[in-house]
A and B are shown apart, each in its own frame.
Chain A
Amino acid sequence: MSHAIRLGSKRVGVELKQFFRDRESAMFNFALPMLLLVIFGSVFGGQSLEGTDITFAQYFVAGMIASGILYTSFQNLAISIPLEREDGTLKRLRGTPMPKASYFIGKIGMVFVAYVAQVTILIAVGVAFYGIDLPSTPNRWLTFVWVSVLGLIACTLLGIAYSVVPKSGRGASAVVTPVVLILQFTSGVFFVFNQLPQWMQTFASLFPLKWLTQAMRYVFLPDQAQAAEVAGEWELGMCALVLVIWVILGAILALVFFRWTPRGSKS
Protein backbone atom coordinates (compact mmCIF):
# COMPACT_ATOMS: atom_id res chain seq x y z
CA MET A 1 0.00 0.00 0.00
CA SER A 2 2.80 2.44 0.87
CA HIS A 3 4.27 1.59 -2.54
CA ALA A 4 0.99 2.56 -4.22
CA ILE A 5 0.91 5.85 -2.29
CA ARG A 6 4.55 6.64 -3.08
CA LEU A 7 4.00 6.05 -6.79
CA GLY A 8 0.70 7.90 -6.50
CA SER A 9 2.53 10.97 -5.26
CA LYS A 10 4.88 10.70 -8.24
CA ARG A 11 1.83 10.53 -10.48
CA VAL A 12 0.49 13.73 -8.92
CA GLY A 13 3.60 15.54 -10.17
CA VAL A 14 3.30 14.13 -13.67
CA GLU A 15 -0.46 14.78 -13.80
CA LEU A 16 0.05 18.40 -12.75
CA LYS A 17 2.76 18.96 -15.35
CA GLN A 18 0.47 17.59 -18.04
CA PHE A 19 -2.54 19.53 -16.75
CA PHE A 20 -0.83 22.90 -16.70
CA ARG A 21 1.11 22.36 -19.92
CA ASP A 22 -2.02 21.53 -21.90
CA ARG A 23 -3.01 25.18 -22.13
CA GLU A 24 -6.49 24.82 -23.61
CA SER A 25 -7.79 22.37 -21.04
CA ALA A 26 -6.02 24.12 -18.18
CA MET A 27 -7.64 27.39 -19.22
CA PHE A 28 -11.01 25.75 -19.62
CA ASN A 29 -11.00 24.22 -16.16
CA PHE A 30 -9.07 26.87 -14.41
CA ALA A 31 -10.03 30.26 -15.74
CA LEU A 32 -13.73 29.63 -16.23
CA PRO A 33 -14.86 30.35 -12.65
CA MET A 34 -12.70 33.44 -12.70
CA LEU A 35 -14.27 34.57 -15.95
CA LEU A 36 -17.71 34.03 -14.43
CA LEU A 37 -16.75 36.08 -11.40
CA VAL A 38 -15.49 38.90 -13.60
CA ILE A 39 -18.68 38.89 -15.69
CA PHE A 40 -21.01 38.68 -12.69
CA GLY A 41 -18.95 41.21 -10.79
CA SER A 42 -19.01 43.64 -13.71
CA VAL A 43 -22.73 43.25 -14.43
CA PHE A 44 -24.09 43.25 -10.90
CA GLY A 45 -21.08 44.82 -9.23
CA GLY A 46 -22.26 46.87 -6.31
CA GLN A 47 -25.97 45.92 -6.43
CA SER A 48 -27.29 44.39 -3.25
CA LEU A 49 -29.64 41.50 -2.58
CA GLU A 50 -33.16 42.71 -1.76
CA GLY A 51 -33.48 43.93 1.80
CA THR A 52 -29.82 43.32 2.73
CA ASP A 53 -26.48 45.01 2.30
CA ILE A 54 -24.98 41.82 0.77
CA THR A 55 -23.62 42.53 -2.71
CA PHE A 56 -24.36 40.22 -5.61
CA ALA A 57 -20.64 39.64 -6.01
CA GLN A 58 -20.47 38.40 -2.41
CA TYR A 59 -23.52 36.16 -2.98
CA PHE A 60 -22.25 34.65 -6.24
CA VAL A 61 -18.65 34.03 -5.15
CA ALA A 62 -20.00 31.02 -3.25
CA GLY A 63 -21.40 29.60 -6.51
CA MET A 64 -18.19 30.31 -8.39
CA ILE A 65 -16.11 28.43 -5.82
CA ALA A 66 -18.58 25.53 -5.75
CA SER A 67 -18.47 25.49 -9.56
CA GLY A 68 -14.69 25.48 -9.34
CA ILE A 69 -14.91 22.24 -7.36
CA LEU A 70 -17.06 20.75 -10.10
CA TYR A 71 -14.80 22.04 -12.90
CA THR A 72 -11.46 20.88 -11.49
CA SER A 73 -12.74 17.46 -10.49
CA PHE A 74 -15.82 16.20 -12.32
CA GLN A 75 -15.58 18.11 -15.59
CA ASN A 76 -11.80 17.88 -15.82
CA LEU A 77 -11.68 14.10 -15.33
CA ALA A 78 -14.81 13.20 -17.26
CA ILE A 79 -13.30 14.94 -20.29
CA SER A 80 -9.61 14.03 -19.87
CA ILE A 81 -9.92 10.33 -18.98
CA PRO A 82 -11.71 9.40 -22.25
CA LEU A 83 -8.85 11.10 -24.07
CA GLU A 84 -6.35 9.07 -22.06
CA ARG A 85 -8.27 5.93 -22.86
CA GLU A 86 -8.07 6.78 -26.54
CA ASP A 87 -4.47 7.94 -26.88
CA GLY A 88 -3.00 4.89 -25.14
CA THR A 89 -2.13 6.48 -21.77
CA LEU A 90 -4.18 3.94 -19.83
CA LYS A 91 -3.10 1.02 -21.98
CA ARG A 92 0.56 1.85 -21.45
CA LEU A 93 0.09 2.25 -17.70
CA ARG A 94 -1.71 -1.09 -17.46
CA GLY A 95 1.33 -2.68 -19.06
CA THR A 96 3.58 -1.49 -16.23
CA PRO A 97 3.77 -2.64 -12.59
CA MET A 98 2.15 0.63 -11.45
CA PRO A 99 -0.67 -0.21 -8.98
CA LYS A 100 -4.06 0.99 -10.24
CA ALA A 101 -4.55 2.87 -6.97
CA SER A 102 -1.56 5.07 -7.85
CA TYR A 103 -3.35 6.27 -10.96
CA PHE A 104 -6.37 7.36 -8.92
CA ILE A 105 -4.21 8.92 -6.21
CA GLY A 106 -2.50 10.89 -8.98
CA LYS A 107 -5.84 12.15 -10.26
CA ILE A 108 -7.12 13.12 -6.81
CA GLY A 109 -3.85 14.90 -5.96
CA MET A 110 -3.89 16.76 -9.26
CA VAL A 111 -7.49 17.84 -8.65
CA PHE A 112 -6.69 19.11 -5.14
CA VAL A 113 -3.66 21.14 -6.20
CA ALA A 114 -5.51 22.60 -9.20
CA TYR A 115 -8.44 23.53 -6.96
CA VAL A 116 -6.29 25.22 -4.33
CA ALA A 117 -4.56 27.27 -7.00
CA GLN A 118 -7.85 28.13 -8.66
CA VAL A 119 -9.69 29.13 -5.49
CA THR A 120 -6.75 31.20 -4.25
CA ILE A 121 -6.67 33.25 -7.43
CA LEU A 122 -10.47 33.48 -7.49
CA ILE A 123 -10.65 34.87 -3.96
CA ALA A 124 -7.71 37.19 -4.54
CA VAL A 125 -9.37 38.65 -7.65
CA GLY A 126 -12.69 38.90 -5.78
CA VAL A 127 -11.14 40.70 -2.85
CA ALA A 128 -9.01 43.00 -4.97
CA PHE A 129 -11.59 44.04 -7.58
CA TYR A 130 -15.09 43.26 -6.37
CA GLY A 131 -14.96 44.02 -2.68
CA ILE A 132 -15.48 40.40 -1.58
CA ASP A 133 -15.21 39.93 2.19
CA LEU A 134 -13.21 36.93 3.40
CA PRO A 135 -14.88 34.37 5.70
CA SER A 136 -15.37 36.10 9.05
CA THR A 137 -14.95 33.32 11.65
CA PRO A 138 -12.66 30.30 12.19
CA ASN A 139 -15.74 28.07 11.90
CA ARG A 140 -16.42 29.44 8.45
CA TRP A 141 -12.83 28.73 7.36
CA LEU A 142 -13.07 25.22 8.79
CA THR A 143 -16.33 24.64 6.91
CA PHE A 144 -14.66 26.00 3.77
CA VAL A 145 -12.01 23.28 4.12
CA TRP A 146 -14.21 20.28 4.89
CA VAL A 147 -16.81 21.19 2.28
CA SER A 148 -14.06 21.59 -0.32
CA VAL A 149 -12.44 18.27 0.61
CA LEU A 150 -15.69 16.28 0.63
CA GLY A 151 -16.88 17.98 -2.55
CA LEU A 152 -13.61 17.33 -4.38
CA ILE A 153 -13.54 13.66 -3.37
CA ALA A 154 -17.17 13.08 -4.35
CA CYS A 155 -16.87 14.91 -7.66
CA THR A 156 -13.51 13.29 -8.50
CA LEU A 157 -15.02 9.83 -8.04
CA LEU A 158 -18.09 10.84 -10.04
CA GLY A 159 -15.84 12.22 -12.79
CA ILE A 160 -13.92 8.93 -12.94
CA ALA A 161 -17.21 7.01 -13.14
CA TYR A 162 -18.77 9.39 -15.68
CA SER A 163 -15.67 9.08 -17.90
CA VAL A 164 -17.17 5.88 -19.32
CA VAL A 165 -20.17 7.76 -20.74
CA PRO A 166 -18.46 9.61 -23.64
CA LYS A 167 -17.97 7.23 -26.57
CA SER A 168 -14.84 9.03 -27.73
CA GLY A 169 -12.34 11.55 -26.43
CA ARG A 170 -13.39 14.09 -29.02
CA GLY A 171 -17.05 13.97 -28.06
CA ALA A 172 -16.44 14.02 -24.31
CA SER A 173 -17.04 17.70 -23.64
CA ALA A 174 -20.38 17.47 -25.48
CA VAL A 175 -21.76 14.98 -22.95
CA VAL A 176 -20.03 16.44 -19.89
CA THR A 177 -20.55 20.19 -20.18
CA PRO A 178 -24.38 20.06 -20.35
CA VAL A 179 -24.48 18.11 -17.07
CA VAL A 180 -22.37 20.78 -15.40
CA LEU A 181 -24.43 23.61 -16.89
CA ILE A 182 -27.78 22.13 -15.86
CA LEU A 183 -26.52 21.65 -12.32
CA GLN A 184 -25.21 25.21 -12.25
CA PHE A 185 -28.50 26.70 -13.47
CA THR A 186 -30.58 24.71 -10.97
CA SER A 187 -28.26 24.91 -7.96
CA GLY A 188 -28.12 28.65 -7.36
CA VAL A 189 -24.82 29.32 -9.08
CA PHE A 190 -26.18 31.74 -11.69
CA PHE A 191 -29.42 32.75 -9.95
CA VAL A 192 -30.44 33.38 -6.37
CA PHE A 193 -31.49 29.90 -5.24
CA ASN A 194 -34.66 30.82 -3.33
CA GLN A 195 -36.03 32.56 -6.44
CA LEU A 196 -35.91 29.34 -8.51
CA PRO A 197 -39.08 27.31 -9.13
CA GLN A 198 -39.84 24.68 -6.47
CA TRP A 199 -39.30 21.69 -8.81
CA MET A 200 -35.89 23.02 -9.80
CA GLN A 201 -34.88 23.36 -6.17
CA THR A 202 -36.04 19.80 -5.49
CA PHE A 203 -34.14 18.48 -8.52
CA ALA A 204 -30.95 20.30 -7.52
CA SER A 205 -31.21 18.98 -3.95
CA LEU A 206 -30.45 15.49 -5.23
CA PHE A 207 -26.98 16.50 -6.45
CA PRO A 208 -23.83 17.76 -4.73
CA LEU A 209 -23.55 21.18 -6.38
CA LYS A 210 -26.59 22.69 -4.62
CA TRP A 211 -25.18 21.67 -1.24
CA LEU A 212 -21.68 22.82 -2.08
CA THR A 213 -23.04 26.22 -3.12
CA GLN A 214 -25.22 26.49 -0.03
CA ALA A 215 -22.36 25.61 2.33
CA MET A 216 -20.11 28.11 0.54
CA ARG A 217 -22.80 30.76 1.11
CA TYR A 218 -22.50 30.04 4.83
CA VAL A 219 -18.75 30.50 4.46
CA PHE A 220 -18.94 33.81 2.62
CA LEU A 221 -22.18 35.45 3.83
CA PRO A 222 -23.03 36.98 7.22
CA ASP A 223 -25.49 35.20 9.56
CA GLN A 224 -28.33 37.53 8.59
CA ALA A 225 -28.40 35.90 5.12
CA GLN A 226 -29.48 32.63 6.71
CA ALA A 227 -33.09 33.78 6.64
CA ALA A 228 -32.98 33.96 2.85
CA GLU A 229 -32.20 30.23 2.57
CA VAL A 230 -35.09 28.00 1.51
CA ALA A 231 -34.96 26.11 4.80
CA GLY A 232 -34.35 29.29 6.77
CA GLU A 233 -30.99 27.92 7.89
CA TRP A 234 -27.63 26.77 6.42
CA GLU A 235 -28.32 23.02 6.88
CA LEU A 236 -24.61 22.19 7.23
CA GLY A 237 -25.42 18.76 8.72
CA MET A 238 -27.58 17.91 5.74
CA CYS A 239 -24.87 19.19 3.42
CA ALA A 240 -22.29 16.89 5.06
CA LEU A 241 -24.70 13.95 4.85
CA VAL A 242 -25.47 14.46 1.15
CA LEU A 243 -21.78 14.84 0.29
CA VAL A 244 -20.83 11.70 2.23
CA ILE A 245 -23.58 9.77 0.43
CA TRP A 246 -22.20 11.01 -2.89
CA VAL A 247 -18.66 10.02 -1.88
CA ILE A 248 -19.87 6.47 -1.19
CA LEU A 249 -22.02 6.36 -4.31
CA GLY A 250 -19.18 7.85 -6.38
CA ALA A 251 -16.74 5.24 -5.07
CA ILE A 252 -19.14 2.41 -5.94
CA LEU A 253 -19.89 3.83 -9.40
CA ALA A 254 -16.19 4.40 -10.11
CA LEU A 255 -15.27 0.87 -9.02
CA VAL A 256 -18.09 -0.77 -10.98
CA PHE A 257 -18.02 1.25 -14.18
CA PHE A 258 -14.46 2.48 -14.65
CA ARG A 259 -12.70 0.85 -17.57
CA TRP A 260 -9.18 1.05 -18.93
CA THR A 261 -10.07 0.45 -22.56
CA PRO A 262 -12.44 2.28 -24.91
CA ARG A 263 -15.93 0.84 -25.21
CA GLY A 264 -16.22 -1.67 -28.02
CA SER A 265 -12.44 -2.02 -28.29
CA LYS A 266 -10.94 -5.43 -28.89
CA SER A 267 -9.28 -5.72 -25.52
Chain B
Amino acid sequence: MAAIAVASLTKSFGEVHAVNGVSFEVAQGECLSLLGPNGAGKTTTTEILEGYTKPDSGHVEVLGHDPQHADLAWRARLGIVLQSVRDLGDLTVIEAVRHFAQYYPNPKDPEAVIAAVGLTHKAGSRNDQLSGGQRRRLDVALGVIGNPELLFLDEPTTGFDPEARREFWDLIESLKADGATILLTTHYLDEAERLADRVAVIARGRIIACDAPHLLGNRNTGLAVVSWTEGGIAHQEQTAQPTLLTQELAHRFNGEVPDLSIKRPSLEDTYLALIDGDELRGDAR
Protein backbone atom coordinates (compact mmCIF):
# COMPACT_ATOMS: atom_id res chain seq x y z
CA MET B 1 0.00 0.00 0.00
CA ALA B 2 1.24 3.49 -0.84
CA ALA B 3 2.15 5.75 2.09
CA ILE B 4 0.52 8.68 0.29
CA ALA B 5 -2.14 8.46 -2.40
CA VAL B 6 -3.61 11.63 -3.88
CA ALA B 7 -6.08 11.78 -6.74
CA SER B 8 -7.64 14.80 -8.49
CA LEU B 9 -6.94 17.08 -5.57
CA THR B 10 -8.23 20.66 -5.79
CA LYS B 11 -8.16 23.62 -3.42
CA SER B 12 -9.02 27.23 -4.17
CA PHE B 13 -8.61 30.34 -2.05
CA GLY B 14 -11.16 32.74 -3.47
CA GLU B 15 -10.34 33.12 -7.16
CA VAL B 16 -6.95 31.46 -6.88
CA HIS B 17 -6.79 27.77 -7.82
CA ALA B 18 -3.87 26.89 -5.55
CA VAL B 19 -4.17 23.17 -6.27
CA ASN B 20 -5.85 22.29 -9.53
CA GLY B 21 -6.16 18.55 -10.00
CA VAL B 22 -3.05 17.01 -8.46
CA SER B 23 -2.59 13.24 -8.44
CA PHE B 24 0.41 11.24 -7.24
CA GLU B 25 1.48 8.40 -5.02
CA VAL B 26 4.43 7.92 -2.71
CA ALA B 27 5.41 4.35 -1.94
CA GLN B 28 6.43 3.18 1.53
CA GLY B 29 10.08 4.05 2.09
CA GLU B 30 10.23 6.33 -0.92
CA CYS B 31 11.40 9.95 -0.95
CA LEU B 32 9.38 12.17 -3.27
CA SER B 33 10.46 15.76 -3.79
CA LEU B 34 7.99 18.45 -4.77
CA LEU B 35 9.65 21.11 -6.88
CA GLY B 36 8.07 24.25 -8.22
CA PRO B 37 8.13 28.04 -8.20
CA ASN B 38 6.75 30.01 -5.25
CA GLY B 39 2.96 29.95 -5.27
CA ALA B 40 2.81 26.79 -7.41
CA GLY B 41 0.80 24.91 -4.79
CA LYS B 42 3.51 22.92 -3.03
CA THR B 43 2.78 24.08 0.50
CA THR B 44 -0.99 23.90 0.04
CA THR B 45 -0.68 20.31 -1.20
CA THR B 46 1.60 19.43 1.71
CA GLU B 47 -0.70 21.04 4.26
CA ILE B 48 -3.67 19.08 2.90
CA LEU B 49 -1.69 15.87 3.39
CA GLU B 50 -0.73 16.97 6.92
CA GLY B 51 -4.39 17.56 7.76
CA TYR B 52 -4.06 21.33 8.24
CA THR B 53 -6.08 22.26 5.17
CA LYS B 54 -9.35 20.81 3.95
CA PRO B 55 -9.33 20.14 0.20
CA ASP B 56 -12.24 21.27 -1.99
CA SER B 57 -12.38 17.95 -3.81
CA GLY B 58 -10.34 14.88 -4.60
CA HIS B 59 -9.17 11.80 -2.77
CA VAL B 60 -6.44 11.88 -0.14
CA GLU B 61 -5.03 8.95 1.80
CA VAL B 62 -2.04 9.28 4.08
CA LEU B 63 -0.84 6.13 5.87
CA GLY B 64 -4.23 4.62 5.08
CA HIS B 65 -6.30 7.46 6.56
CA ASP B 66 -8.07 10.59 5.37
CA PRO B 67 -6.10 13.38 7.11
CA GLN B 68 -9.33 15.31 7.77
CA HIS B 69 -10.69 12.45 9.87
CA ALA B 70 -7.55 10.98 11.38
CA ASP B 71 -6.85 10.49 15.09
CA LEU B 72 -3.85 11.15 17.31
CA ALA B 73 -2.46 7.64 16.78
CA TRP B 74 -2.17 8.57 13.10
CA ARG B 75 -0.49 11.87 14.02
CA ALA B 76 2.06 9.95 16.10
CA ARG B 77 3.28 8.25 12.91
CA LEU B 78 4.00 11.57 11.17
CA GLY B 79 6.82 14.03 11.50
CA ILE B 80 6.24 17.55 10.23
CA VAL B 81 8.81 20.25 9.55
CA LEU B 82 6.79 23.36 8.76
CA GLN B 83 7.86 26.48 6.95
CA SER B 84 8.44 29.68 8.91
CA VAL B 85 7.59 28.97 12.53
CA ARG B 86 9.18 31.15 15.19
CA ASP B 87 7.85 29.57 18.38
CA LEU B 88 9.56 28.11 21.47
CA GLY B 89 11.93 31.09 21.73
CA ASP B 90 11.96 31.05 25.54
CA LEU B 91 12.98 27.38 25.86
CA THR B 92 16.43 25.89 25.31
CA VAL B 93 17.11 23.41 22.52
CA ILE B 94 17.28 20.43 24.87
CA GLU B 95 14.13 21.49 26.76
CA ALA B 96 12.13 21.79 23.57
CA VAL B 97 13.31 18.48 22.11
CA ARG B 98 12.79 16.61 25.40
CA HIS B 99 9.32 18.10 25.78
CA PHE B 100 8.20 17.15 22.29
CA ALA B 101 9.61 13.63 22.73
CA GLN B 102 7.00 13.12 25.46
CA TYR B 103 4.17 13.51 22.95
CA TYR B 104 5.16 10.36 21.06
CA PRO B 105 4.75 6.70 22.02
CA ASN B 106 8.12 5.64 20.60
CA PRO B 107 10.42 8.65 20.46
CA LYS B 108 14.09 8.79 19.54
CA ASP B 109 16.65 9.75 22.16
CA PRO B 110 16.62 13.58 22.45
CA GLU B 111 20.39 13.89 22.89
CA ALA B 112 21.01 11.65 19.87
CA VAL B 113 18.62 13.68 17.71
CA ILE B 114 20.25 16.94 18.78
CA ALA B 115 23.64 15.45 17.89
CA ALA B 116 22.31 14.25 14.54
CA VAL B 117 21.18 17.77 13.56
CA GLY B 118 24.49 19.18 14.79
CA LEU B 119 23.19 21.23 17.70
CA THR B 120 24.98 19.52 20.58
CA HIS B 121 27.13 22.60 21.28
CA LYS B 122 23.92 24.70 21.38
CA ALA B 123 21.79 22.28 23.43
CA GLY B 124 21.68 24.63 26.42
CA SER B 125 21.06 27.81 24.41
CA ARG B 126 17.75 29.62 24.29
CA ASN B 127 16.08 29.04 20.94
CA ASP B 128 15.63 32.76 20.30
CA GLN B 129 19.42 33.08 20.34
CA LEU B 130 19.98 30.55 17.56
CA SER B 131 20.94 31.63 14.04
CA GLY B 132 18.49 31.05 11.20
CA GLY B 133 20.16 27.81 10.16
CA GLN B 134 20.38 26.56 13.75
CA ARG B 135 16.66 27.29 14.23
CA ARG B 136 15.90 25.28 11.14
CA ARG B 137 17.91 22.37 12.54
CA LEU B 138 15.84 22.54 15.70
CA ASP B 139 12.70 22.34 13.53
CA VAL B 140 14.13 19.24 11.87
CA ALA B 141 14.98 17.75 15.28
CA LEU B 142 11.38 18.30 16.44
CA GLY B 143 10.12 16.80 13.18
CA VAL B 144 12.06 13.55 13.57
CA ILE B 145 11.96 13.16 17.38
CA GLY B 146 8.82 10.98 17.23
CA ASN B 147 10.53 8.40 15.00
CA PRO B 148 8.09 9.06 12.15
CA GLU B 149 7.08 6.56 9.48
CA LEU B 150 6.30 9.51 7.21
CA LEU B 151 8.24 12.74 7.31
CA PHE B 152 7.11 16.01 5.73
CA LEU B 153 9.94 18.45 5.10
CA ASP B 154 8.88 21.88 3.83
CA GLU B 155 12.00 23.70 2.64
CA PRO B 156 14.04 22.22 5.48
CA THR B 157 17.49 23.59 4.62
CA THR B 158 16.67 27.25 4.02
CA GLY B 159 19.42 29.25 5.70
CA PHE B 160 21.85 26.33 6.02
CA ASP B 161 25.47 26.77 5.03
CA PRO B 162 26.82 24.17 2.55
CA GLU B 163 28.39 22.05 5.27
CA ALA B 164 25.22 22.02 7.36
CA ARG B 165 23.24 21.07 4.26
CA ARG B 166 25.49 18.07 3.64
CA GLU B 167 25.11 16.98 7.30
CA PHE B 168 21.36 17.35 6.98
CA TRP B 169 21.35 15.19 3.86
CA ASP B 170 23.23 12.48 5.76
CA LEU B 171 20.61 12.66 8.50
CA ILE B 172 17.75 12.30 6.03
CA GLU B 173 19.49 9.41 4.29
CA SER B 174 19.87 7.61 7.61
CA LEU B 175 16.11 8.06 8.18
CA LYS B 176 15.47 6.69 4.70
CA ALA B 177 17.71 3.75 5.46
CA ASP B 178 15.51 3.07 8.50
CA GLY B 179 12.53 2.86 6.15
CA ALA B 180 10.90 6.28 6.59
CA THR B 181 8.82 7.70 3.75
CA ILE B 182 9.67 11.33 2.98
CA LEU B 183 7.87 14.12 1.19
CA LEU B 184 10.43 16.85 0.59
CA THR B 185 9.53 20.32 -0.63
CA THR B 186 12.59 22.26 -1.67
CA HIS B 187 13.97 25.01 -3.90
CA TYR B 188 17.39 23.38 -4.05
CA LEU B 189 17.68 21.10 -7.05
CA ASP B 190 20.91 19.53 -5.82
CA GLU B 191 19.05 18.58 -2.65
CA ALA B 192 16.24 16.94 -4.62
CA GLU B 193 18.74 15.15 -6.84
CA ARG B 194 20.65 13.80 -3.85
CA LEU B 195 17.73 12.75 -1.66
CA ALA B 196 14.72 12.07 -3.85
CA ASP B 197 13.85 8.79 -5.53
CA ARG B 198 11.42 10.75 -7.70
CA VAL B 199 10.72 14.44 -8.20
CA ALA B 200 7.34 15.94 -9.06
CA VAL B 201 7.38 19.37 -10.68
CA ILE B 202 4.36 21.49 -9.73
CA ALA B 203 3.40 24.62 -11.61
CA ARG B 204 0.19 26.60 -11.32
CA GLY B 205 -1.47 23.96 -9.17
CA ARG B 206 -0.75 20.96 -11.41
CA ILE B 207 1.99 18.35 -11.68
CA ILE B 208 3.68 18.86 -15.04
CA ALA B 209 6.31 16.15 -14.70
CA CYS B 210 7.08 13.34 -12.28
CA ASP B 211 10.01 10.98 -12.59
CA ALA B 212 13.33 9.87 -11.11
CA PRO B 213 15.75 12.83 -11.04
CA HIS B 214 17.99 11.39 -13.77
CA LEU B 215 15.00 10.62 -16.02
CA LEU B 216 12.98 13.82 -15.52
CA GLY B 217 11.87 15.50 -18.73
CA ASN B 218 13.76 12.81 -20.74
CA ARG B 219 17.04 14.19 -19.42
CA ASN B 220 18.81 10.92 -20.14
CA THR B 221 17.81 10.81 -23.80
CA GLY B 222 17.54 14.55 -24.47
CA LEU B 223 20.01 16.51 -26.53
CA ALA B 224 23.53 16.46 -25.14
CA VAL B 225 26.06 19.22 -25.63
CA VAL B 226 29.46 18.11 -26.90
CA SER B 227 32.21 20.70 -26.73
CA TRP B 228 35.86 20.65 -27.73
CA THR B 229 38.62 22.97 -28.95
CA GLU B 230 39.74 22.95 -32.55
CA GLY B 231 42.34 25.29 -33.99
CA GLY B 232 42.30 27.37 -30.80
CA ILE B 233 38.54 27.97 -31.10
CA ALA B 234 35.95 26.53 -28.72
CA HIS B 235 33.32 24.47 -30.51
CA GLN B 236 29.97 23.28 -29.25
CA GLU B 237 27.35 21.05 -30.79
CA GLN B 238 23.94 19.86 -29.62
CA THR B 239 23.23 16.30 -30.57
CA ALA B 240 20.96 13.36 -29.83
CA GLN B 241 23.87 11.03 -30.60
CA PRO B 242 26.83 12.27 -28.57
CA THR B 243 28.67 8.94 -28.78
CA LEU B 244 28.62 8.99 -32.55
CA LEU B 245 29.85 12.60 -32.66
CA THR B 246 32.63 11.83 -30.22
CA GLN B 247 33.68 8.90 -32.31
CA GLU B 248 33.86 11.12 -35.38
CA LEU B 249 35.87 13.68 -33.46
CA ALA B 250 38.28 11.02 -32.20
CA HIS B 251 38.73 9.85 -35.75
CA ARG B 252 39.34 13.42 -36.98
CA PHE B 253 41.88 14.21 -34.29
CA ASN B 254 43.34 10.77 -34.62
CA GLY B 255 43.22 10.19 -30.84
CA GLU B 256 42.49 12.55 -27.96
CA VAL B 257 40.03 15.39 -28.61
CA PRO B 258 41.28 18.62 -26.95
CA ASP B 259 39.04 19.85 -24.06
CA LEU B 260 36.35 17.29 -24.84
CA SER B 261 33.23 17.34 -22.66
CA ILE B 262 29.80 15.82 -23.06
CA LYS B 263 27.05 17.41 -20.99
CA ARG B 264 23.55 16.11 -20.47
CA PRO B 265 21.08 18.74 -19.31
CA SER B 266 21.37 19.17 -15.52
CA LEU B 267 18.31 18.74 -13.32
CA GLU B 268 18.23 22.52 -13.08
CA ASP B 269 18.26 22.94 -16.90
CA THR B 270 15.47 20.38 -17.20
CA TYR B 271 13.44 21.94 -14.40
CA LEU B 272 13.73 25.46 -15.83
CA ALA B 273 12.79 24.21 -19.29
CA LEU B 274 9.70 22.50 -17.86
CA ILE B 275 8.63 25.62 -15.97
CA ASP B 276 9.29 27.92 -18.97
CA GLY B 277 7.38 25.60 -21.27
CA ASP B 278 4.47 25.53 -18.87
CA GLU B 279 4.40 29.31 -18.60
CA LEU B 280 4.40 29.63 -22.40
CA ARG B 281 1.44 27.27 -22.63
CA GLY B 282 -0.28 29.19 -19.85
CA ASP B 283 0.24 32.55 -21.61
CA ALA B 284 -0.93 31.15 -24.91
CA ARG B 285 -4.22 30.13 -23.38
Contacts and interface: CB of A to CB of B under 8 A. Distances in A.
A84 B87 contact: yes
Give the interface residue-count category, chain B: 20 to 34
Nearest to B79: A95
Given A87-B86, A92-B82, A97-B103, A14 B72 contact: no
Nearest to B104: A97
B95 A17 contact: yes
Given A17-B95, A97-B73, A88 B103 contact: no
A95 B74 CA distance: 11
A266 B13 contact: yes
Interface in A11-48: 14, 17-18, 21-22
B155 to A, nearest CB: 14
A233 to B, nearest CB: 46
Contacts, number: 71
Interface stretch (B45-53, B207-215, B219-227, B273-281): B45-53
A7 B76 CA distance: 14
B165 interface: no
Contacts of A84: 87
Main secondary structure of the interface of B (DSSP, over half): loop
Contacts of B13: 266
B85 A91 contact: yes
B102 A7 contact: yes
B103 A17 contact: no
A24 to B, nearest CB: 11
A89 B52 contact: no
A167 interface: no
Contacts of A88: 82, 84-87
B87 A92 contact: yes
Interface string A95-123: 11111000000000000000000000000
Nearest to A88: B85
B95 A98 contact: no
Given A97-B75, A97-B76, A267-B52, A87 B99 contact: no
B78 interface: yes
Looking at A7, A89, A97, A266, the one whose CB has the most chain B CB atoms below 10 A away is: A97
B99 A266 contact: no
Interface of A: 7, 10, 14, 17-18, 21-22, 84, 87-89, 91-92, 94-99, 261, 266-267
* Closest A-B pairs by Cβ, 10 of them: A88-B85, A89-B87, A97-B76, A95-B80, A21-B90, A97-B75, A97-B72, A267-B52, A18-B90, A267-B53
Given A10-B99, A17-B91, 12 more contacts: A7-B102, A10-B102, A14-B91, A21-B91, A22-B90, A92-B82, A92-B88, A96-B80, A96-B100, A266-B18, A266-B44, A266-B53
